[in-house]
Structure 1
Amino acid sequence: MAGPAKKRAQAEKKPTSSSDSARQSTQGSSGREVASQRSVPKSIPRLDGNRDPTNTVKAVDYSKPTDLKNISEFLGILGWYQARGLQAPDALPHRPKVLNNLGKELMVKLNTFNVLSTPTKIVHQYDVAWGAETDATKRAVIKKIWQSKAVKSAIGEPQNMWIYDGNKLAWCAKRFERDEIRVVVDLDEEENQRRAQEGLQPRRARASGNKHKIFIKWTREVPFTSLQAFLDGHISWDNNCIDMVNFLDHVMRETPSQHYTQIKKSFFQRGEQRFDLGGGIEAFKGVFSSLRPVLNDKLQKNLAVNVDVANGTFWRAQELPRAILQVFNCQMAGFQQMFVNSKRDWRASTLKKDLARFKRVGVTDTHNPKAPTQWTIDEFVGLDAEDAKFPDPDHEGQNISVRQYFKTKYNFNCTPKLPVVRMTKKIRKGPVYLPMECLKIDPNQRYNAKLSDRQTAQMITFAVTRPRERWAAVQAGVGLLNWQNDPYLQHYGIKINPQPATVKARQLPLPTVSFAGTSTLKPTDLTAGRWRIDKLRFIGPNEKAITSWGVCVIGGRGGLQQPQVQAFVDNFIKIYKGHGGKFSPHPQKGEKPYIMQGNLAKGGEMIAELWNATGNHFQSRPMFLMFMVNDRNIDVYRKIKKSCDCRFGVVSQVLQSKNVEKNQPQYISNVCMKVNAKLGGATSFAKSTTIPKIAPKSASLPTMIIGADVSHPAPGSMSQEAASFAAITCSADATFTRYWAECNTNGNRVEMVTTDNIDKHLGSMARKWIQRTGRGQPPKRVLYIRDGVSEGQYAAVIEEEVRDMKQVFAKAGCKDVPKFTVVIAGKRHHIRFFPDKGGFDQNGNPVPGTLVETGCTHPFEFDWYLCAHVAIKGTARPIHYQCILNEGEYQAMELQQLIFEHSFQYCRSTTPVSLHPAVYYAHLAADRSRAHVNDNPVSSGKKEAKGDGGVAKSSTGSSKGKVEIDPLIPMSNGAGAMDAMWFV
């Protein structure tokens, strides 16, 4: 326990670049610069501490999925192919020569700011390497070494204005006489010098010493002429461009990172007002900043900076025990009892898992106020202060308990029945245990775990702001970044326009939204983005008339009374029939359902009881089941869905009792839309009056639309063992109003949909499409819309997923494999629209159909931003669409118009949706599939993930090691549930 402890750097942490090492160029036989290599010497040989570390150079490129994530938005798909050393596909679409001219013109202000000038002086790039005694994976140690007086003196700081990525790269405008600088740093000596200046006692020198050697070697000049040549279109992407962008990204962040708390590309002012989320967590706002190449508002290829509001969640700076009691919402006595009960089987205890959210949290001890020390939590152990022991530093060969040590050394009384905390720091190669009651959480530490439902609701309340307030926050963020007075930007000659870009946008033409008969919606309703369907009949009613259905009313606190249930059922039947829903009355029982009282304590048997009782009541297989629950309990919801989907194969609808009690017609109409879709119907059809004019042959080409989404486990202690879920949707008719969906597990954090999942699940839907929709013929073209992938994964979508999908059609017997057009739909970006004159709703958000193709889009690649919906609260977030493959030869305007018009066909909404329905349905299905998790897997069960031992493999997977993931329980299709939209 005794001995010096590692003290965390006083400055805020600065995230490191994901770039691995310095880039060195070599000359090919033709004299042309070829792809360069990166040196990653982890250490130098122990035999000679002065040996040049380049003897251990290992060739490394940008092939790892995590490399260059900090500039992935900048690279685009062409840049990623170049970074990987791959040949870009010939079919890669380029930006259309003519912008969309449909609809009417709007002026839209963007939160992007044009770069007026790039570096004017030569910038030198250096490779940073370490001696054998330094563990380069410990970022805090590396940061201390770089910021040491010895290193600063050797490299001439702060005069030379060095930029360091915290890993293997450094830049400076000065080139030293020698190509390599070697510095020896004694961190203990510098720490004791600092302590002496502050009047503190010096630390005891550690036996192993704390000296480090750093090697800073010149590798190349960064030629910014290449960047301008790229932007002017004279050269394609090359490694020079990648290195230049990497430098620009770091120089942009250097000054803000020194003044604010930095989390990736966001900066949070330390004095900002906090918003309490509960559970020891607080939120506050910051500013997001990102550099990117754009086709600017003057139609020039240029650089721009995207600035937006950032909302961060942080641990509240307070005593650790207080934070724990807030997390568990209990008093100290209750927590002590929880610990006593959990000690019997600590490893498997829920308490241990819940406390794991504190892992890697920085704390400061308070038992010795004269010399407080900062630590990092490793984990809570199943020992209290009396049980936890370590070698007594004052009596060799003897152990001493934590309680006794703290009482003797510091006169500190440890509280009994509390777990001690093990730190990441080791002393004399042994663990360090500290009592939790002597620790305080350090300020400005990000909270990475998943928020609770209550915290999420609070976070939404905090984060949602109207356009006017958001724009004011963007301007405040520009003020915080203070580009004009940034010393690093000035030093390197970078100028940014503080005035935002204003571009010409288009408001795309509206479709005609039709219901049964001659009923259509008014254009004013479509522009307003919201309509009512009270007197409208669905375009497609349920395929089979309802003859047998049951209702389960779950009792308990807040439960419904029989008259309330009966009144709702009567109204549901009336309203559904008014929308065109079909019932086939039973000769004796009529149209009304079988109603029973349910008890959650019975678990799955409650659903079985309803299933059997309903079947016996009507003497036929139940067609759908309805459940009335008392509150929004995700566990209850998933248990119901699991039994209905996987055991009985029947579609189901879960309702909250409070909504049943209100019995409002509009709510019932919303329920009818869901029930109708689950029983084979469709709500409405968006008929295009534009596409037949611009692409008259489009309607004659049999087309299938596929959507896909992969959802990952929330961050936390178990996220490295939990499953990811992949969902694939497929259009089920020629009008794209109905979709099938199939799901399964997708390994642990494997982003690409695995070959097994595509082969099995898309395979079954493709065969069904050929038999039913295509009447024996395959589609001529496929529009594949993929959700949830970053720019660095675009290439993998083509090389892995599209390749596997084409093989599916080949296996299905297609002589001519369909032509694929692939569009990536991105939601996680920071581009926002602020309409200047006209084109906005009462809240200041853009009207549905607002299309932006300049100011924030890539200069060469085919992408656009589309706001298809109306934001109910806050500022509307447009969807970023990028076409990365266009074998189907869609015209740009046709593709943009089609995606917009389909947003009016979402089957369970009376609004246009922001995202294309194929992707929206995939997201719903992936989330619903969590209810199908196999909690009791059999040892012989098939592993539904690709690779050895059930471990999914993908070039874009981030799982460390092999994680065994079991497949989901298959859905039962006895009642044709898989042919219906069971997921809505």
Structure 2
Amino acid sequence: MSGRGSRGRHYSGGRSNPSHGGGGRGSFSGGGSSGAAAPAPTQTRAYFPPAASSSSAPVASLSSEMEQKLTLETTTTAAVAAVPPASSKAVRFPQRPGFGTVGKKIQVRANHFLVQVADRDLHHYDVTITPEVASKKIHREVMNQLVRLYSETHLGKRIPAYDGMKSLYTAGPLPFSSKEFVVKLLPNDGRAAAAGSSTSSKRKDREFKVALTLANKPDLYQLQQFLHSQRVETPQEAIQVLDIVLRATPSEKYTVVGRSFFSTELGPKGSLGEGLEYWRGFYQSLRPTQLGLSLNIDVSARSFFEPILVTEFLAKHFYHTDRSKHLPDRDCIKVKKTLKRVKVEVRLRDWTKNEEVKRTYTINGLSAEPLGQLRFTCEDENTSVVQYYRKKYKIDLKYVAWPAIQAGNDSKPVYLPMELCSIVAGQRYTKKLNKKQVTNLLKATCQRPRDRENNITQMIREKTNNRDDKESLIRREFGLQVREEMSLVKARVLPSPLLKYHDSGREKSVYPQMGQWNMTNKKMVNGGRLQVWAFVNFSRVSQDITFEFLGALVDVCNSKGMEFFPQPLLPVQFSHPGQIERVLRDIHKLSAQQGRQLQLLIVILPDQSDSSYGKIKRTCETELGIVSQCLEPQKIKRWNTQYLENLALKINVKVGGRNTVLNDAIYKKMPVVTDRLPTIIFGADVTHPAAGDDSSPSIAAVVASTDWPEVTNYRAIVSAQHHRDEIIKDLYKSQISEKGLVHGGMIRELLVAFYKQKRLKPSRIIFYRDGVSEGQFSQVLLHEVDAIRRACASLEDGYMPTVTFVVVQKRHHTRLFPADHSNRGQMDRSGNIQPGTVVDTEICHPTEFDFYLNSHAGIQGTSRPAHYHVLFDENRFTADGLQVLTNNLCYTYARCTRSVSIVPPAYYAHLVAFRARHYIEGDSSDGGSTTGGGAQVFRALPEIKENVKEVMFYC
């Protein structure tokens, strides 16, 4: 880092020697990685600039550098084009290279329940229902009625499994290949007439035509071959059929959210506050494993609307209680966004017919005028909504100053008084929860491992013991038997790595215990030098407490190995929270007037700081080029040594220092990473807008190590892309300019940064990719590995470092439990399995290279292991090699003295992507995507300043 961490203290004997870089040394002029045959180029350039030295002036931004220096010659352009793109037919994930052996052997229980499958003659029938309806509930009603009517006479007494849409499955053929049935659904309620709608009578019988046509015959033999490792390709169709069979009955009984089911029958519901409640439920998924098919079952909870009047919801959610006052326009917008597409029910007595009526509507918006001013034509007479309800239903409406709910569409609106509309039960709340609601939901789902294991086991026993219900009948029909016991699987506990600290400390190294250690008697391995800094307080924290805290912070940072100058560049400021942006610009201006660039700005956030944090980060990092450290005022008032030490860890890496390194990295004992070939480690993630946001862009973040062999410092880049697009589009990109074809992208920029720092070309790439679901594996691999290859080839003809591409998954439902909860030697303090527990047998993929790793100590609740799945591996990792590397890296996370749950580069990418969300949120303009001319357009992220990117600003 130019001029920062390079002047800090260094550990003894720990510096890497560039001359040990092997084939990685020198400019990009034809030196590819080992094992990659590179043709001698006829016209090549050194596309990487000289490495920065500690005494050099700050370098120009990479983007301008690329424009000036990185325009490609014809031969190099051809080299990029010559990189063979992967094809979908060629996608075959690496086979498991064997099983790991490192670590203490133990056994753990997994919430996987084995499923035995009898040999059945499966048949798949296409279903066509006319007239078409979108509701799966109505589809199921129609199909259930069809089975009741025709099972004996036309269906050969088969018990089918239906997916609620277009597919029906049977365990044996039906007596026909194609047949059409007529099904009538009987009325079950009346319908109330709303203001603006025509008067309706009781609902008539609904008649549907249902056509069943034989589509194909899924083959269970292929599934058995796959489970016995006699077939490489996953038989997705057979697995999908059996999954539908097991989900058919729960889908009818419960509220379905993805692969989870929720109901008040599955456990007590509870309040989340502000008109919301949580429902308990369970997750269920059928998975192929080395043991055979397994049913992954887990308990869960989700947020739902409370079934209350809309007026009551507004009082709880928006704190509107005064019915005499109009709702401000800004509040009407919030109400419309929150309640759009929510179903409400109106129950009234129609006194003109003397009958109870009920009808369900879907909210599309609010009326533009208050309810008291709304008029419409009813039976050729112009009347007000208030008069209509008084005459027809003998109701005097009270909330006449508030707008009415609008159902129907804009051309034919239906107006409903809020005070008569009850929110229908069982509707999931899809917007972002606030902090209090998240806390309440976590309390509901947070269960100690033993309790969670018992709840899951009890649930599976209830599902399997009732042999007379429909779910059991379908299982027997299809020959499925689900075991009631969790799988007992082999596991190993990997040893914790030795961490190196500075030799001047009393403790020069430490072996973490149970995933934890502390900074007592230790000094940072590379203490950063913080000379130019400033401090501003936007809170009510007093001056005395502020200065006392500041003095203690400087002392702790210095005692831990930093060079923290006690005097700030500018006087400490105490400012009003309403002036945040102006104050930040003034600080930047004053420091510039002194000819200095701030290394760090320390900020105490306002007491109410929900939006101010994002405003500070956006202004500092994209406008002013200032690295900042924000502090919560509540913690300043109650600071202690532990808090200051954790803060020192963050500050140190933000000024270019290192906190600790792996001892094996220093002495080049890490497999693959620290042999003679320089290695760069990437982490990547894509974050999507909050649930309910249907327009804002997704944000991709990529980080990469810039130090080798230590691999602790990571440079970060972010990019906006199309709404909810999971594929990272800007890994590699090119465009035509006046000078020719110009190449760029995130991978290229990070490779350039590595080379500038180390004067070495990475010969190996290890890429940890977060946030990818199994259904996206092939697509992500095809695009992103291809982008990595093209980025490398654009730097130099024949430059093809070997790539290992690993997906990191945390959003799965596999949980691992101690085999014996009474044996404290098998657990950490929270009752969870020990840090370093790895599983690569039994419950893992039958043939592919994957493993579960619980790298962290539990704090509360049940720990969730990370799942690592290798999609591409030119570095030919052994199982032990990748598992030990991944586990050891989890001890290098810069922000704390604990091992973390996912590998740090993926964790950092996650932090960066969420940080970048602040760059577009809070903007007064519409931050979402728009559609125009058939193409989706989104607002690009503001560029992070170059000096900010040089350090780990996101920590």
* 1:142 aligns to 2:134 (yes or no): no
The aligned counterpart of 1:102 is 102
- CA distance in structure 2 between the partners assigned to 1:612 and 1:832 by the alignment: 53
Shift of 1:890: 1.8
The 3-state SS of whatever aligns with 1:567 is: helix
* 1:702 aligns to 2:688 (yes or no): no
Counterpart selection for 1:764 from 737, 742, 749: 749
* 1:273 aligns to 2:268 (yes or no): yes
| Contact 1:548/1:593, CA 8 A, preserved across alignment | no
Structure 1 pair 702/580, CA: closer, same or farther in 2 (3 Å)?
A: same
- CA distance in structure 2 between the partners assigned to 1:374 and 1:901 by the alignment: 57
* 1:807 aligns to 2:790 (yes or no): yes
1:627-647 deviation line (CA, Å, top 9, x unaligned): 112436231011111121122
1:85-130 deviation line (CA, Å, top 9, x unaligned): 941336x311223x11101101111111111x21443232211124
1:563-608 deviation line (CA, Å, top 9, x unaligned): 21111111111111111111457xxxx5686301111222311112
| Contact 1:449/1:715, CA 8 A, preserved across alignment | yes
- CA distance in structure 2 between the partners assigned to 1:192 and 1:502 by the alignment: 49
1:870-929 deviation line (CA, Å, top 9, x unaligned): 111111110000001001222221111101001111111110111111011101111111
Shift of 1:666: 1.4
The 3-state SS of whatever aligns with 1:688 is: helix
- CA distance in structure 2 between the partners assigned to 1:230 and 1:661 by the alignment: 61
| Contact 1:688/1:901, CA 8 A, preserved across alignment | no
The 3-state SS of whatever aligns with 1:323 is: helix
1:913-964 deviation line (CA, Å, top 9, x unaligned): 111110111011111112222877999xxx999xx9899xxxxxxxxx7442
The aligned counterpart of 1:834 is 817
Structure 1 pair 575/85, CA: closer, same or farther in 2 (3 Å)?
A: closer
The aligned counterpart of 2:586 is 609
Structure 1 pair 647/162, CA: closer, same or farther in 2 (3 Å)?
A: same
* 1:642 aligns to 2:638 (yes or no): no
The aligned counterpart of 1:327 is 317
- CA distance in structure 2 between the partners assigned to 1:856 and 1:186 by the alignment: 46
- CA distance in structure 1 between the partners assigned to 2:897 and 2:667 by the alignment: 23
| Contact 1:932/1:968, CA 8 A, preserved across alignment | yes
Counterpart selection for 1:967 from 914, 918, 940: 940
* Counterpart amino acid of residue 613 in structure 2: Y
Question: How much identity, in percent, do the aligned residues show?
Answer: 27
* 1:978 aligns to 2:949 (yes or no): yes
Shift of 1:520: 9.0
The Cα RMSD (Å) is 3.2
| Contact 1:550/1:614, CA 8 A, preserved across alignment | no
Structure 1 pair 323/383, CA: closer, same or farther in 2 (3 Å)?
A: same
Shift of 1:519: 5.5
The aligned counterpart of 2:4 is none
- CA distance in structure 2 between the partners assigned to 1:289 and 1:666 by the alignment: 42
Shift of 1:425: 8.2
- CA distance in structure 2 between the partners assigned to 1:158 and 1:592 by the alignment: 86
The aligned counterpart of 1:121 is 120
* 1:337 aligns to 2:308 (yes or no): no
1:450-490 deviation line (CA, Å, top 9, x unaligned): 11121112212222111111112111221332266211112
Q: Map 1:124-523 to 2 at 5 A.
A: 124-131=123-130, 134-148=131-145, 152-153=149-150, 159-187=157-185, 190-191=186-187, 204=201, 211-237=207-233, 241-271=235-265, 272-296=267-291, 302-333=292-323, 337-339=325-327, 341-342=328-329, 349-368=330-349, 370-392=356-378, 394-395=379-380, 398-414=381-397, 415-424=399-408, 430-482=412-464, 485=467, 486-517=472-503
1:848-889 deviation line (CA, Å, top 9, x unaligned): 110011232111111000000011111111000000100122
Structure 1 pair 665/338, CA: closer, same or farther in 2 (3 Å)?
A: farther
1:108-155 deviation line (CA, Å, top 9, x unaligned): 11111111x214432322111244xx2354445434433446984377
- CA distance in structure 2 between the partners assigned to 1:386 and 1:399 by the alignment: 14
The aligned counterpart of 1:755 is 730
The aligned counterpart of 2:37 is none
- CA distance in structure 2 between the partners assigned to 1:963 and 1:633 by the alignment: 34
Shift of 1:763: 2.2
Shift of 1:251: 1.0
Q: Which stretch of structure 1 is more off in the superposition, 762-771 or 148-157?
A: 148-157
- CA distance in structure 2 between the partners assigned to 1:881 and 1:979 by the alignment: 29
Shift of 1:174: 4.9
- CA distance in structure 2 between the partners assigned to 1:230 and 1:553 by the alignment: 63
Q: Map 1:593-672 to 2 at 5 A.
A: 594-614=571-591, 620-631=596-607, 633-672=609-648
1:283-333 deviation line (CA, Å, top 9, x unaligned): 13222221101112xxxxx11111111112111122221112111023133
- CA distance in structure 2 between the partners assigned to 1:459 and 1:250 by the alignment: 29
Shift of 1:691: 11
Structure 1 pair 181/384, CA: closer, same or farther in 2 (3 Å)?
A: farther
Shift of 1:449: 1.4
Q: TM-score, normalised by structure 1?
A: 0.80
- CA distance in structure 1 between the partners assigned to 2:333 and 2:156 by the alignment: 46
- CA distance in structure 2 between the partners assigned to 1:520 and 1:482 by the alignment: 60
The aligned counterpart of 1:927 is 914
Counterpart selection for 2:703 from 718, 724, 729: 729
The aligned counterpart of 1:884 is 871
The aligned counterpart of 2:779 is 796
* Counterpart amino acid of residue 730 in structure 1: A
Structure 1 pair 978/373, CA: closer, same or farther in 2 (3 Å)?
A: same
Structure 1 pair 85/752, CA: closer, same or farther in 2 (3 Å)?
A: closer
Structure 1 pair 870/338, CA: closer, same or farther in 2 (3 Å)?
A: farther
The aligned counterpart of 1:676 is 652
| Contact 2:500/2:509, CA 8 A, preserved across alignment | no
- CA distance in structure 2 between the partners assigned to 1:86 and 1:799 by the alignment: 7
The 3-state SS of whatever aligns with 1:445 is: coil
Structure 1 pair 692/152, CA: closer, same or farther in 2 (3 Å)?
A: farther
Structure 1 pair 331/592, CA: closer, same or farther in 2 (3 Å)?
A: same
The 3-state SS of whatever aligns with 2:890 is: helix
* Counterpart amino acid of residue 243 in structure 1: E
| Contact 1:512/1:520, CA 8 A, preserved across alignment | no
| Contact 1:292/1:305, CA 8 A, preserved across alignment | yes
| Contact 1:255/1:487, CA 8 A, preserved across alignment | no
Shift of 1:815: 2.8
- CA distance in structure 1 between the partners assigned to 2:392 and 2:376 by the alignment: 14
| Contact 2:108/2:817, CA 8 A, preserved across alignment | yes
In structure 1, stretches of 5+ residues that fail to align are 1-83, 196-201, 297-301, 343-348, 952-960
| Contact 1:513/1:520, CA 8 A, preserved across alignment | no
Structure 1 pair 374/501, CA: closer, same or farther in 2 (3 Å)?
A: same
- CA distance in structure 1 between the partners assigned to 2:124 and 2:286 by the alignment: 20
- CA distance in structure 1 between the partners assigned to 2:166 and 2:87 by the alignment: 21
1:223-273 deviation line (CA, Å, top 9, x unaligned): 3222212222333437xx333222211111123334433333223342331
1:414-446 deviation line (CA, Å, top 9, x unaligned): 2301222222589xx833221111111222222
